[in-house]
Amino acid sequence: MASPTARKAAAAALIGTSIEYYDYYAYATASALVFGKLFFPVQQNPFFGTMAAFATFAVGFVSRPLGGIVFGHFGDRVGRKTALVTTLLIMGTATFLIGVLPTYETAGMLSPVLLVVLRLVQGFAVGGEWGGAALITVEHAPEHRRTFYGSFTQLGSPGGTVLSTAMFSLATLMGGGTLLEWAWRVPFLFSAVLVVVGLVIRLRLEESPVFLRAVRENTLVTSPVAVTVRTSWRVILAGIAAVLVGITGFYITGTLFLSYAVDQAKVPTQTVLDAQLIAAATSFVSFPIMALLADRFGKRLVMYVGLALTIVIAVPHFYVANTHSALLITLMLSVTQTASSAAWVTIPALLSEAFPAQTRYTGLSLVYQLTSLVFSGTLPIVTLGLIAGSGGSPLPAAAILVGLAVVNIVGVAALGRMLRQPIGTK
C-alpha cells in the first residue's frame, strides 16, 4: 500500500504539471487561432500568418533541451523539489508576460520578437519540469504501482489542455472580434493565479527518497550530463523512439487537428474546442486505467496495443472533421486520446527504469526534450505545409502519425532489452 507521501507526491505532480502544460498549451491554442492575425498579419494570405505563428510555437522547443540539461544537472545535484519550484516560477512569469504583450498593430516588429523571446523562456522552463515531476512520483511510489503513480504526472497534460481549452472556449464565446481585441489575453493572465496555487503545493512537497539516499551515500556525480551521454547514449536513442507518439502525438492529433479542422474543413472553432475539451477530460478515466493495466500486464504490452490502435484510427481521426458533426468529432478525438494514452502514461516508469539514480533526472529530461525538439516542434509546421501542398487533404497528417507509431513500437522493443534495475538502486 502506498504511503501518504507517495499520494501527496502524485497530487503535487498532477497539479504542478497541469499548470505548466496549461501555460504551454495556451500558447499552442493561441497559435492556431489568433497569433497569426495579431503578431504576424499577412493580409494577402492568412494561412502564412498561421504558419509563422506555428514557427514561433516550434521555437519554444529549441530551448527545451537546454532547460533539460540545466535542470537535469540541478535536479541530480541539488534535488528534485528545488528544480520543480524554479521551473514553475519561470514558466508562470513568461506566460503572464505574453498576456500583456503589445500586438503588431501597436509595436510593429518588436511584438513578434518579444513573443519569440518569451516562447524561448517557456521552452526552457518546460525542459526542466517534466523530468522532475516524473521522478518525484515514481521514486516515491511502491514498486508494483510505479506506472500508476507516474501516470499522475502525465495527467498534467490533459489537465493543462482542459484548463487552457476551457479558457479559450470562454473567450471565443465573446465573439471573434472580442477574442482578437482583448479576450485572448485572459488565459495567459490567469496563469498568475495558477502559479500561486502550484507554488504552495510544491513548497510543501518532500524530497525524493532516492535522491536523499544518494546524498547520504555520497554517490552524486559531478557532471550528470557528461556521465549520461557517455554511459547511456544507446538508452537515450532507444528512449526517443519509444516515446514518439506519447510526446509528439498530441501536437498532431490535437494542435494540428485544430488548425486543419478550422482552416481547411471550416468547422466552427467553438465546436472543435468543445470536442477537444471533452476528449481531454476522458483522460482522467482512461489514464489511470491504462496505468493499472500496465502495472498488471506489463508496460510494453499495453504500449503495443495502444500504438496498434493509433495506426488503425489515424486516417479517420482527421477525416472526421469533414463531417462537421460535433458528436462524431468528439467521439473520434476521445477514442484517439484513449489509444495514445497507452503510449503516454507508461513513459515515467519506463524511462526511470532505464537510467541509474545519480543521472536519472538528466536522462529522462534529455530523452523527453530531444524528442520534443526534433519532432514535436517541427512536425506541426511541416505537416501543415504538406496539407497545403496536397490541396487540403489530411492524408499527410495521418501518414505521419502512422509512421510515428511504427517507429515507437520498434523503440519500445529496443528499450525493453536495455532496462537496467529497480528504482532506488544505484
**In terms of C-beta density within 10 A (0-12 exposed, 13-18 middle, 19 or more buried), how is residue 222 classed?**
exposed
Length of the chain measured in residues: 426
Distance (Å, whole) CA 49 – CA 220:
48
Query: For each of the chain's 426 residues, which pLDDT tens digit applies?
Result: 557 788 888 888 888 888 877 887 788 788 777 888 888 776 545 566 666 666 776 777 788 899 999 999 999 999 999 998 999 899 889 999 999 999 988 888 898 889 888 988 988 998 898 899 999 999 999 988 999 999 999 998 888 878 888 888 888 887 768 888 899 999 999 988 888 888 888 888 889 999 999 999 999 999 999 999 999 999 999 999 999 999 888 888 887 888 889 888 899 988 998 898 899 889 899 999 999 999 999 999 999 999 999 999 999 999 999 999 999 999 999 999 999 999 999 999 999 999 998 999 999 999 998 998 888 778 877 888 888 888 888 899 999 999 999 999 999 999 988 875 555 543
Backbone angles phi, psi at 6, to 5 degrees: -65, -40
Matching residue, cell 516524473? 134
**In terms of C-beta density within 10 A (0-12 exposed, 13-18 middle, 19 or more buried), how is residue 361 classed?**
buried
At residue 395, the pLDDT reads 92
At residue 426, the pLDDT reads 39
Q: Where are the domains of the chain?
A: 4-416
List the grid coordinates of 398: 495521418
Q: Could you tell me which CATH number the domain at 4-416 has?
A: 1.20.1250.20
Whole-prediction pTM value? 0.83
Q: What Cα–Cα distance (Å) separates residue 364 from each residue in 21, 37, 113, 128, 243?
A: 18, 37, 31, 10, 11
* Contact in structure between 291 and 155 (CB atoms under 8 Å): no
Between vectors from CA 235 to CA 212 and to CA 213, what angle results, nearest 5°?
A: 10
Distance (Å, whole) CA 253 – CA 409:
18
Distance (Å, whole) CA 419 – CA 300:
12
Distance (Å, whole) CA 251 – CA 244:
11
**Type of residue found at 21:** Y
Distance (Å, whole) CA 191 – CA 404:
32
